[in-house]
Amino acid sequence: MARKYSKHGPYEDVHREEAEAPPPPPCWLCGRPTGTTIVWHHPVPKSRGGRDVVPMHGICQQTLIANFTNSELQRHGLDVDALLAHPPIRKFVDWVANKDPDFTATITKKQR
């Protein structure tokens, strides 16, 4: 037998308007707001015991991986200022500062 009254309130409550979505988190490296694609990056690589994750653009993560080894990333840890002190990273962040949040480009391969 159907209930005369709903346990969860009137039917109109089901179709109420959704609240605005919160703004996207800023990128850990460049500080720009992230776009539709958010990469959750381990500042200290998982292979080195890292557990924390930070939001980043895909292009920013590719740049870090191309310029640093896992050992170097482990030494820097969550200190983004130490990473920005490296000239290639500072040059990249200055270049990408005015780009669209969903901007992507090819990044040079790791120099070995």
Whether residue 41 is contained in a domain is answered as: yes
Among 19, 18, 21, 53, CA closest to 36: 21
By residue count, the chain amounts to: 112
DSSP secondary structure code for residue 36 in this structure: S
Whether residue 39 is contained in a domain is answered as: yes
Give residue-wise pLDDT tens across range 81-92: 999 999 999 999
Whether residue 16 is contained in a domain is answered as: no
Whether residue 75 is contained in a domain is answered as: yes
Whether residue 20 is contained in a domain is answered as: no
Whether residue 2 is contained in a domain is answered as: no
Whether residue 101 is contained in a domain is answered as: yes
Among 93, 29, 23, CA closest to 55: 29
Give residue-wise pLDDT tens across range 63-112: 999 999 999 999 998 999 999 999 999 999 999 999 998 888 887 776 65
Adjacent-strand bridge partners of 33: 26
How many domains is the chain built from?
Answer: 1
Whether residue 10 is contained in a domain is answered as: no
Q: Which domain holds residue 99?
A: 32-60+68-111
